[in-house]
Structure 1
Amino acid sequence: MAETGVRIGCAGWSLPVALQPHFGAGDSHLARYATRLPAVEINSSFHRPHTRAQYARWAAMVPADFRFCVKLPKVITHELRLTGCEAPLDAFLEQAGGLGARLAALLVQLPPSLAFEARVATAFLETLRGRHTGAIALEPRHASWFTRPAEDLLQSLHMARVLADPVRHAGGERPGGHPGLVYLRLHGSPRVYYSAYDGSLLSALARRISQARDAGSEVWCIFDNTASGAAAANALALRAMCQT
Structure 2
Amino acid sequence: MHEKNMMPLPAAGAPAIRVGCAGWGTPPQHAALFPPGGSHLERYARLFDTVEINSSFYRPHQHKTYMRWADTVPEGFRFWVKMPREITHQRRLLDCEDSLLRFLEEISGLGCKLGGILVQLPPSLALDMPSALTFFTLLRQHYPGAAACEPRHASWFSMQGEHLLQDFRLARVAADPAKFPTAEAPGGDPGFSYYRLHGSPEIYYSSYPEAYLRQLANTLQAASGPAWCIFDNTARGAATANALDTMNLLGITTHQG
Sort the TM-score into its range (normalised by shorter chain).
Answer: over 0.9
Structure 1 residue aligned with 2:199: 188
> Where do 1:150-189 residues align within 5 Å?
150-189=161-200
- Structure 2: distance between partners of 1:9 and 1:167: 20
| Other structure's SS at 2:215 match | helix
Measured after TM superposition, the shift of residue 4 of structure 1 is 5.2
> Where do 1:30-179 residues align within 5 Å?
30-179=41-190
Decide whether the 8 Å contact of 1:146 with 1:170 is kept in 2.
Answer: no
- Structure 1: distance between partners of 2:102 and 2:115: 18
Q: Give the structure-2-normalised TM-score.
A: 0.91
Structure 2 residue aligned with 1:225: 233
Measured after TM superposition, the shift of residue 57 of structure 1 is 0.7
Q: Give the structure-1-normalised TM-score.
A: 0.95
Structure 1 residue aligned with 2:255: none
| Other structure's SS at 1:84 match | coil
- Structure 2: distance between partners of 1:172 and 1:86: 29
Q: Which has the higher contact order (CA 8 A, sep 6+)?
A: 2
Deviations along 1:15-62, one digit per CA (max 9) or x if unpaired, are: 112212212234100100000111000000000000000001111111
Structure 1 residue aligned with 2:244: 236
> What is the aligned residue count?
239
Measured after TM superposition, the shift of residue 153 of structure 1 is 0.9
What value does the CA root-mean-square deviation take over the aligned residues?
Answer: 1.1
Structure 2 unaligned spans of 5+: 1-13, 253-257
- Structure 2: distance between partners of 1:35 and 1:25: 10
| Other structure's SS at 2:181 match | coil
| Other structure's SS at 2:183 match | coil
Deviations along 1:72-128, one digit per CA (max 9) or x if unpaired, are: 000000011001100000000100111111001100000000000111111111111
| Other structure's SS at 2:229 match | strand
Instruction: Output the amino acid matched with 2:161.
Output: A
